Amino acid sequence: GGGALSSCRRASHHEKLQVAALPSKATLEFEHGVSLRSAYIVPEDVQAAGFQIDADELASIVESRDTKKLTVHGQLNGIADKLGTSLTNGIVTDKDLLNQRQDIYGVNKFAETEIRSFWEFVWEALEDTTLIILSACAIFSLVVGITTEGWPQGAHDGVGIVASILLVVSVTGTSNYQQSLQFRDLDKEKRKILVQVTRNGLRQRVLIDDLLPGDAVHLAVGDQVPADGLFISGFSVLVDESSLTGESEPVFVNEDNPYLLSGTKVLDGSCKMLVTAVGMRTQWGKLMAVLTDGGDDETPLQTRLNGVANTIGKIGLFFAVLTFIVLSQGIIGQKYLDGLLLSWSGDDVLEILDHFAVAVTIVVVAVPEGLPLAVTLSLAFAMKKMMNDKALVRQLAACETMGSATVICSDKTGTLTTNRMTVVKACICGNTIQVNNPQTPNMSSNFPEVAVETLLESIFNNTSGEVVTNQDGKYQILGTPTETALLEFALLLDGDCKEKQQGSKIVKVEPFNSTKKRMSTILELPGGGYRAHCKGASEIVLAACDKFIDERGCIVPLDDKTSSKLNDIIKAFSSEALRTLCLAYREMEEGFSTQEQIPLQGYTCIGIVGIKDPVRPGVRQSVATCRSAGISVRMITGDNIDTAKAIARECGILTKDGIAIEGAEFREKSAEELHDLIPKMQLKVLARSSPLDKHTLVKHLRTAFNEVVAVTGDGTNDAPALREADIGLAMGIAGTEVAKESADVVILDDNFSTIVTVAKWGRSVYVNIQKFVQFQLTVNVVALLVNFTSACFTGDAPLTAVQLLWVNMIMDTLGALALATEPPNNNLMKKAPVGRKGKFITNVMWRNIVGQSLYQFAVMWYLQTQGKHLFGLEGYHADIVLNTIIFNTFVFCQVFNEVSSREMEDINVLRGMAGNSIFLGVLTGTIFFQFILVQFLGDFANTTPLTQQQWLISILFGFLGMPIAAAIKLIAVEPHEKADTRRTP
């Protein structure tokens, strides 16, 4: 339920959390003393709706684990009656009844933080220091201007600056507001969790938000408890309550301790629970009310860019101060010479103000506040698009990290394969048959009846799956894909699930987990006595057997000859990429008590099944794409080594020089041996691995080899590796809630190809921001140089404050929009990854920036010195016309440079431009407004309308920047990204 809280924030909340929880506990305990003396009275509205207990009373039972109160209300059955529900069939799904229940007990949603209004974002943008200084300048300029020249002549400068500031603020405000809405959608996506409930006696999946008190919810390993509730029935349930209590020790939940709290995680076992409180009435909901959600942390790239922005800002500030001194020293020197230092006229003040405004605007232009904006825009855009490509990004930074990933450690089951399993071969009593073969209509006739009976008893009772009747009255099998495959197989053998399950009583269950690699159950037989059933990884279960059922149906000792024959069958199944499971049972001795551990030896082997899990279509190609992109793919699986090798070959992961080893061997290796084993691109497959092996491998890759590692996982046991990795990718369908909580990206369709798409988008984000930085730095350098040199040599700045603000707007906000939203192209996956050490501003970028800046500066300087002569300008009007031409040319240089910036190395910058509507929109908008600004808004922008010829020449100078940029790209530079050659496969 706490999808909104990121894990890093959660740690710091623990202290607050304990503080929040304590007072409520104390007051509750005091109230209980009182409330139990006076009998509980049901509020009238609750009674009218047909219930016998109100929401707060219900919530308090679980919240304070109040056993007395639970007894007062008649334990579990009493509460179920008062809630108008059945522990076996759940609630009745009549629409009116559901609404009634909802009115009394609330919905399973958390109160959302207030949506910040658009104006708050505008206000935030206004709080920018440089903008405040500029506003002060504008107001001062308005006052002085109107007093000296009167309205409206004296107000033009001031109004122009104010208008520009408002424009900048509204654009920044809008983009931030849009982004906050996007995060909201993301939180909604995170809440789309399905839980299994029984309603009307039928198992069904409902959205977590639709849960109501009275629902009977089924929980299994890896689920997050979706609401507060009471334990109905189940086996060996172990719950991690650390997110609520801070206690790391897991808690056993059973009849004696029946309290389940929302937000906690099921670590082991499975159970059914009765929901008692939802939404804001749960422990977790109350906590969420105490803790307001913290802001999002900055992504690594934003932090890096803030550093760049600060440095440039300081350089800008230095130049601004210099420019102000150079511009103002003339007028102040003149006054000093005339001895009039103390008498100032309005015009003098205005002139100094103008100089000050220009200096401040130089700072505005120099500080690239568009950098963090570009990152956020680019990431938000990528996130939205990745949702359509079936990837839900939970942490913004993951997008960008994924772009520099150098290794992907992938699970096999469900990621590389489809996770739709079927039993295709079985070896029972030494006979191997093809299961999916239509030629064997009545399969059970091939084997002795006693063997089939035992096999069916084993499959139907020793399972975490269930055969249920769904709403249409058809059979439906629920459970993990492996369980489903086995149950389907049993139904094919004409087994009747209900009959087998009613015939015997399950008294103890040890669920499957990845360390034991087996699942065991103990049955109490109808005639007395106990029988244990066990199934799991073939070599492990077979090693525990000392007898087997032969083709006559007799139980005979398992000698070496038979044992090696069975092992050969397992090998043969595995080499066909089948996953093998062995089923076995043993009769328990007299005097066995259910408190004892289920024994690990002395079993009788019933049979071996081979389960096919076909490789997903497109995986082979995705692996090849990764290889060409310099990303090495490794497979980590719990399967046996032959199956793992067969599948890895099929996917193209295991190549001729690659090696595959088992977890046991991997654990024995010393750090030095690992150092030799992993990097030479050798270790491709790790089979029979434990979650700890996965964690070790990831850690080793990250620390010893400095790789950027992406890891996929779906089980609870994968959480440590997902957290350890640079990017954790959890599976949306097969993944447990615990895995999703620990991951940065959730792959909604569980498909390996989607992971490649995420990598592609990640690279796209990185490259887009590089393009933007290259574009922006060019403008910064030129604007600084033009105004500074001009101030030094002519005592006048050609670009006024309003003009610079407009340029700032083009390059910061609009430039970010245009360049940061370029979709990825396929060339991105042909380069080596950036890795951990890659520099952000590369030599290629420096080459483009320096080259383009020199060209633009040369054009500006030429216009400034030779412009009047070139255009034949004279008279008092000449200066303003020339300055307008310089401003116009400067803007067109940026427009064409923006197009050149679409590619950093390729000459063809027009490829795919027609398809990018945002880019085209920004360019058209810029040109349109530039035209308006020059031709009609002369008073504000200090411009004057230009002739056709002057327009053409301005545009031509701008356009010349493109062939120049192309020529610059031909200069070879030593790119430092290629230093990491060991990665290119």
Catalytic residues: 411
Residues 6+ apart with CB under 8 A from 424: 434, 435, 436, 578, 610, 611, 612
Which amino acid, one-letter code, is at 913?
Answer: M
* Helices and strands, counts by H and E, the chain: 35, 26
**Which of 390, 388, 421, 300 minimizes the C-alpha distance to 729?**
390
Residues 6+ apart with CB under 8 A from 348: 331, 335
What's the sign of the alpha-carbon dihedral 57, 58, 63, 65? positive
* Three-class SS state of 912: coil
Which amino acid, one-letter code, is at 847?
Answer: R
Cα–chain center distance at 897: 34
Q: Is the CB of residue 644 less than 8 Å from the CB of residue 779?
A: no
Q: Is the CB of residue 915 less than 8 Å from the CB of residue 927?
A: no
Cα 823–Cα 827–Cα 829 angle in degrees, nearest 5: 95
Of all residues in the chain, what percent are helix, strand and coil, respectively (each to 5)? 55, 15, 30
Distance CA 768, CA 385 (A): 15
Segment (H or E) for 359: helix 346-366
Let me know if 672 is exposed, middle or buried by CB neighbors in 10 A (0-12, 13-18, 19+): exposed
Distance CA 918, CA 921 (A): 5
* Rg of the chain in Å (alpha carbons): 36
Distance CA 790, CA 783 (A): 11
Q: Is 524 left (phi over 0), alpha (psi -120 to 50) or beta?
A: beta
Which pairs from 937-940 meet CB under 8 Å and 24+ separation?
A: 939/156, 939/160, 940/156, 940/159, 940/160, 940/163, 940/802
Alpha helices in 367-408 (DSSP H): 370-388, 396-403
What is the number of other CB atoms lying within 10 angstroms of the CB of residue 604? Answer: 18
Q: Is 875 left (phi over 0), alpha (psi -120 to 50) or beta?
A: left
Q: Is the CB of residue 532 less than 8 Å from the CB of residue 606?
A: no
Cα atoms found within 13 Å of the Cα of residue 812, Cβ hemisphere only: 24
Distance CA 410, CA 704 (A): 20
Q: Are strands 727-731 and 709-713 parallel, antiparallel or unpaired?
A: parallel
Which pairs from 473-480 meet CB under 8 Å and 24+ separation?
A: 476/203, 478/196, 478/203
Backbone angles phi, psi at 636, to 5 degrees: -120, 125
- DSSP assignment of 263-291 equals T-EEEEEEEEEEEEE-GGGSHHHHHHHHS
Distance CA 142, CA 158 (A): 5
Backbone angles phi, psi at 459, to 5 degrees: -65, -45
* Three-class SS state of 937: coil
Q: Is the CB of residue 977 less than 8 Å from the CB of residue 834?
A: yes
